[in-house]
Amino acid sequence: MKPFSYGERLTRGAALARAGAPAASGESGGDPVVVLPGAVLLFLACDGASRFASRTAFKWAAYPPPVLIDARKTGRAIALFVRPPGADEYVALGTQVRLASWGTSTNGVHAQLELQPPLSPELVTTFGSPPPAPTSPLVGAPLAAAIAAARDTASRLALARRFYESWHAPVIPAPLDLGAVPPAVRDWHSLWNGIAAIDRGLLGCQPASWGRQGDFWIFQSENQGVVYWAVAERDRTLDDPPAVCLDDQYRPLASNASVSELGLQLIVLLTTYGGTGVSSWAHLDANQVARACTRITPLSLPPWAWPAPTTRLYTHADGVVCISGDAGAELAMVARDEERFFAASGDIGIDAEQWDVVSYA
């Protein structure tokens, strides 16, 4: 295969002709993967769903075919060509491309490609600036200390936003007109609405309109109506009233001390099950739960009745952990990347084979 210059622009047909592919593969070939004796050619479009997540990472909105997974194992060269938005030609991005991860998340199937060298400033402009890289995710002792120190409404909601942004992306709160509601409900919905504008992945729990059910005013709903969160009628005039979890028959299950505490806890829990990074869950017996609890730090948030009694949140130096149930529990964990995920897994005593489907987001 004749070499391609990094950053060179050419049509799919020209690239295939230079690589020695059969003429029939030409411009109209719809398959993004072309297999040749010496290399695998990968033609992708930067179109929003598939995009650069950073200068060295391209997120492809598809599950990789077996030939790319095999190339990861064997070290076979992958030549990557990416078409900028609205362009007819592709840009050659070299053969130092690695299939870093793939899987299924709440945002759908995807694969992440790592490439070297990083995109030049010119190419960043060509493809559109990638979203700002998240700061280091808030985990471990700093997370535990921040939650313990958040003692008022403003600090708890500020921490919820800081935590989300450290794992995901910057948020611009978007106020909603909910009428006469407690200030903490208004501010929480404003933050959640800002998250909804950029990320559908965490929305397993939807804001609900401020509506009355018996002695409660509901402001948050699990998306299948399994549980609701509400403010009791007697507390409706408080600035940051207690938040009560109700079952699907509107019977109280458990409470948070405040709406702002509920908001912080919900953001942390949903990130544990599907945050940006690597996540999964495993079923553990009582002995494994006991061992895991010696290696993780409990967060100063109350036990919940959802997703299962009793649900508690913890942190590890490399991630965030949720344990639902006591004996025979489910443990969910998220970490920034594959290396940190499996390092934490080994530290808390979970074999790689115990994890359910590992998701990469």
Supply the pLDDT for residue 153.
Answer: 97
pLDDT above 60 (res 183): yes
- Which is nearest to 200 in space by CA: 323, 63, 107? 107
Pairing status of strand 40-45 against strand 78-83: parallel
Who wins on pLDDT, 75 or 271? 271
- 234-274 pLDDT, tens digit each: 999 999 999 999 999 999 998 999 999 999 999 999 899 87
Which helix (H) or strand (E) segment holds residue 265: the answer is helix 259-274
Domain boundaries in the chain? 9-127
Dig out the tokens for 224 from the structure: 């299948």
Q: Which CATH number fits domain 9-127: 1.20.1630.10, 2.40.50.100, 3.40.50.150, 2.30.280.10?
A: 2.30.280.10
Supply the pLDDT for residue 125.
Answer: 80
Supply the pLDDT for residue 56.
Answer: 78
Percent of the chain with pLDDT over 90: 45
- Which is nearest to 95 in space by CA: 83, 81, 105, 110? 81
Buried/exposed 278-307: b ≥16 CB within 10 Å, e otherwise: bbbbbebeeebbeebbeebbebebbebbbb
pLDDT above 60 (res 277): yes
Could you tell me the CA-to-CA distances from 97 to 91, 202, 304, 356 in Å, in that order?
14, 30, 44, 28
Distance CA 141, CA 187 (A): 27
Who wins on pLDDT, 146 or 276? 146
Who wins on pLDDT, 222 or 133? 222
- Which has the minimum average pLDDT: 74-88, 92-106, 133-147, 219-233? 92-106
Mean pLDDT of 65-70: 88
- Can you tell me whether residue 23 is helix, strand or coil? helix
Supply the pLDDT for residue 106.
Answer: 47
- 293-330 pLDDT, tens digit each: 999 999 999 998 888 888 999 999 999 999 998 666 89
Residues ≥6 apart with Cβ < 8 Å to 40: 33, 34, 67, 68, 71, 76, 77, 78, 79
- The dihedral through the CA atoms of 325, 265, 274, 143 has a sign that is negative
Pairing status of strand 205-213 against strand 216-222: antiparallel
Supply the pLDDT for residue 199.
Answer: 62
The number of beta carbons lying within 10 Å of the beta carbon of residue 206 is 12
Supply the pLDDT for residue 116.
Answer: 79
pLDDT above 60 (res 27): no
Supply the pLDDT for residue 102.
Answer: 79
pLDDT above 70 (res 130): no
Supply the pLDDT for residue 204.
Answer: 57
Confidence bin at 108 (pLDDT 50/70/90): low
Confidence bin at 124 (pLDDT 50/70/90): confident
Residues ≥6 apart with Cβ < 8 Å to 135: 165, 166
Exposure of 359 in the CB half-sphere (CA atoms within 13 A): 21
Distance CA 16, CA 13 (A): 5
Our CA angle for 310, 316, 322, nearest 5°, is 20
Q: In this structure, what are the phi and psi dihedrals at residue 226, rounded to the nearest 5 degrees? A: -70, -45
Supply the pLDDT for residue 240.
Answer: 98
SS (H, E, C) 43-65: EEECCCCCEEEECCEEEECCCCC
- Which has the minimum average pLDDT: 32-36, 196-200, 354-358? 196-200
Which helix (H) or strand (E) segment holds residue 329: the answer is strand 329-335
- Can you tell me whether residue 246 is helix, strand or coil? strand
Prediction pTM value: 0.66
Strand partners, 57: 54, 114
The amino acid at residue 182 is: P
- 150-172 pLDDT, tens digit each: 999 999 999 999 999 898 888 88
Angle between helices 259-274 and 153-167 (to 10 degrees): 10
